[in-house]
Amino acid sequence: MKKKKKNENSSKIFLGHDHGVCFGDAITQIEDYFIKKKLQLTPLRRKVFEILIEDHKPLGAYEILEKLGKTGFSSSPPIAYRVLDFLIVHGFVHKVQGLNGFIACSNPNHSHFPTFVICRKCEKVAEVSEEKSGLKLPSPEISNFKIEKTTIELTGICSTCENAEIR
C-alpha cells in the first residue's frame, strides 16, 4: 500500500512546531549519544543544550551567555562559542546564519542537511528535513564537488503573518 503520510505534514511545514523531539526526549537522546560516543555531557554542555531546547528558537550567543550567567556559569564569550561548536559538531545544534543564532536540532542523532524556514515577521523558525522540504541537493558527481556542509535558509512570510498583514 502507498503511503500518504509525508504529504499530510508537508502542506503545513510552518504550522505548529516541527519539533521531532521535545524536551525530555531531547535530553535522553543527547545523553544516550554522549554515552555511546564516550563524550562528556558536562553540566555546562547540558545547560547550554537545555537553554536551547527550552523554547526551541534561535538564540544569539550572547543571549545564551546571559542565561548561563544567571545559573552560575561563566558568561564570557568563549564559553558559549566553545560549547556551541561542540554541540554543532555532534549534530545537536545548528547555526542559523541569517540570524546569527543557534537552535537545537529538531531531529538529531543522524547526519542531515536541514532547511530552515524563517518568517521575517514573527521570527518563527522551522527546521525542515530534506524529504519534507522537497528540496533536493545536486548530486556530488554532477557538481564535481564534495558537499560537506549545507546552509539552506528560506526567509519570507508565513501564512499566519501574511493574512494579518494590512498592505
Residue 127: which H helix or E strand, with range? Answer: strand 125-128
Are the CB atoms for 128 and 116 separated by under 8 Å? yes
Task: Please pick, from the candidates 10, 38, 53, 122, the single residue that binds a copy of itself as defined by CB under 8 A.
Answer: 10
Query: Of 13, 21, 30, 44, which lies in the binding site for DNA, with binding defined by CB under 7 A?
Result: 44
Helices 61-70 & 43-55 angle (0-180, nearest 10): 120
Of the two residues 51 and 61, which places its CB atom closer to a copy of itself in the complex?
A: 61
Letters for 81-120 (x = contact with Zn ion by CB under 5 A, - = none) are ------------------------x--------x----x-
| C-alpha cell read off for 132 | 519534507
Q: What's the distance, Cα to Cα, between the start and end of the chain in Å?
A: 46
Under rule CB under 8 A, residue 134 binds a copy of itself: yes
Q: List the one residue from 120, 122, 123, 164 that touches a copy of itself (CB under 8 A).
A: 120
Spell 79-100 as b/e; 16+ CB within 10 A means b. bbeebbebbeebbbbbbbeebe
CB of 120 to a copy of itself, least distance (A): 7
The answer to whether residue 150 forms part of the interface with a copy of itself (CB under 8 A) is yes
